[in-house]
Structure 1
Amino acid sequence: MTLASTLAAVSGPPSPGPADFNLPAIALGVTKPMVLVVLSAVVIFVVYRAMSRPAAVVPGRLQFAGELSYDFVKGIARDNIGGQEYKKYLPYLFATFLFILLNNLYGIIPFLQFPTMSRFGFPVALAGLAWVIYNVAGIMKHGFFGYLKHTTVPGGTSGPILIIMVPLEFFSNILVRPFTLALRLFATMFAGHLLIVLFSLGAQYLIFNSGNALYIVPGILSFVAGIAISFLDMLIMFLQAYVFTLLSAMYIGGAIADEH
């Protein structure tokens, strides 16, 4: 056996990594994540249009499912923005929740199997939109300089300590928030998909390509572990959509609050 064949025999399956997320263009520079993002908007519109069309006093199953999801996000908005102000931001929060959730769930849907939020540009765009909305909301409520004071000067704080607190509050509330929103969503979707790819490739190699019958059992275990991780990832997909929506509502509520 040559050195090359020996290395090939022990090298194992190809190691998954960031390159697995750089999908080739389908046509004219259009990639699979781009198609999935557009598809999600179409699916959400069509499904919720169908859910809302009956508008019956006693809802059917489809209408009930739509109202249940709407009430879920409505509770998030009402609890964190409060008053009647939450109604202005409810459509944005509802659309954000559905959009993130569906794009996350793509990662476990057969044949699609790619969470678009694992591409950093999409979470960045959503976090940037949230940043613009809550800052504009605060400026409209308090005025530019009033909002700047509102968001950088902690209530009840005065004296020399403000020399330290004001830059920290500005850095935390104005600069860091969109990065943490984007990074949290991206990192969890990236890591979850990478784990599923790892166990899937490992199972395929151990069962079909290892050339050793003794590896079939660990291959099956790897396959089962991949399925278990998929169910766990499904929960995380929902939680990340919830957390992003919750934090967006909290930031809006904090921006328009009368007291810091």
Structure 2
Amino acid sequence: MRARAAVPLDLGECALITAATNLLLAAPGEDGGFHVPNIGEFFPPAIAFEGTIFEFNRITLVRFVAALVLCTLFWLVARRASLIPGRAQNIAEMGLDFVRVNIAEEVLGKAHARPFVPLLTTLFFAILAMNITGVVPLLNIASTSVVAVPLILAVVAWIAFVYAGIKAHGPIGYLRTSLFPSGVPWPIYIILAPIELISTFILRPATLTIRLMANMLAGHLLLVIFFALTNYLFVEASGAVKAVGVVTFGAAFAFTIFEIFIAALQAYIFTLLTAVYINLSQEAH
């Protein structure tokens, strides 16, 4: 039976998620001093259509801005594309080649990668753009730190690997290869089939959603707490305590750089896992 590919949470992810959990459980201060940020950060008041499924708030606005900027940048590069590429075209082509070669072709192989390159490229750059808004001044929140966008992206990935499996094996054949892998004694199928059903069709999109959302949520809370603490120490603290603000500002700067790295890493992991799931659906056990 073919071994299932898995990408475990690394130490950086565990640290971010643990810190986020502690911050969410922390109660705001009641003495008028420093207030710890809480889950309310991710539920801003409505700008329009309050109380409807079309509610438009600050996070929705950030998503629109990220999508608009991303589409505009690629449109400008494509509009001015030439045989001898300039600096902007070089950067865009490097990014596109990275997804095509290092993710799609590396996982799926050249023979099967081509139909899925547009999807994987869109996923990678959409997630990267919406993650990076967490460190952009005036936006200051990752568009993927609330469940809606990660869930939609995970559903798209789910549709892609189910489609790939059905196209490769047919509906019945795909279910048979997914739920009843070959080389297993038939009584084991009584236990194995439900496990494979939950793992393949429920846990895959669920883990894609949770991993992306939890990392970006944790990163936002860490940035907010260190910058808020720096502001409090410099503005409201007295005496020698103000000097601690230099330390918290240094930590805030370090976490900003780390958040940029995590934004790119999570885009890569999400896209890579989507390609892995497509590959597992296409290949028989």
TM-score by length of 2: 0.83
CA distance in 1, matches of 2:233, 2:135: 22
SS at structure 1 position matched to 2:47 = coil
> Moved runs in structure 1, 4+ residues, more than 4 A?
none
- Alignment counterpart, residue 47 of structure 1, candidates 50, 73, 80: 73
- Alignment counterpart, residue 192 of structure 1, candidates 203, 219, 227: 219
> Are positions 1:153 and 2:180 aligned together?
yes
Partner of 1:99: 126
1:172 offset after TM fit, Å?
A: 0.8
CA distance in 2, matches of 1:187, 1:46: 29
Partner of 2:248: 222
CA distance in 1, matches of 2:268, 2:125: 9
Deviations 1:126-155 (A, max 9, x none): 101111121122112211111011112234
Contact 2:67 2:129 in 1 (8 A): no
Mean Cα deviation higher: 183-192 or 150-159: 150-159
SS at structure 2 position matched to 1:161 = helix
1:47 offset after TM fit, Å?
A: 1.0
CA distance in 1, matches of 2:81, 2:182: 46
1:120 partner letter: V
1:41 offset after TM fit, Å?
A: 2.2
RMSD: 1.5
SS at structure 2 position matched to 1:160 = helix
Deviations 1:112-136 (A, max 9, x none): 1110110111101110111112112
> Are positions 1:77 and 2:77 aligned together?
no
Deviations 1:28-48 (A, max 9, x none): 441122122222222222211
1:57 offset after TM fit, Å?
A: 2.6
Contact 2:212 2:270 in 1 (8 A): yes
Residue pairs, 1:1-260, within 5 angstroms:
8=31, 12-28=33-49, 29-75=55-101, 76-210=103-237, 212-257=238-283, 259-260=284-285
Partner of 1:4: none
SS at structure 1 position matched to 2:144 = helix
Partner of 1:3: none
TM-score by length of 1: 0.91
Count of paired positions: 250
1:171 offset after TM fit, Å?
A: 1.3
SS at structure 2 position matched to 1:26 = strand
Deviations 1:172-203 (A, max 9, x none): 11110000000000000000110111111111
CA distance in 1, matches of 2:68, 2:39: 29
Unaligned stretches of 5+ residues in structure 1: 1-6
1:52 offset after TM fit, Å?
A: 2.1
Mean Cα deviation higher: 28-37 or 89-98: 28-37
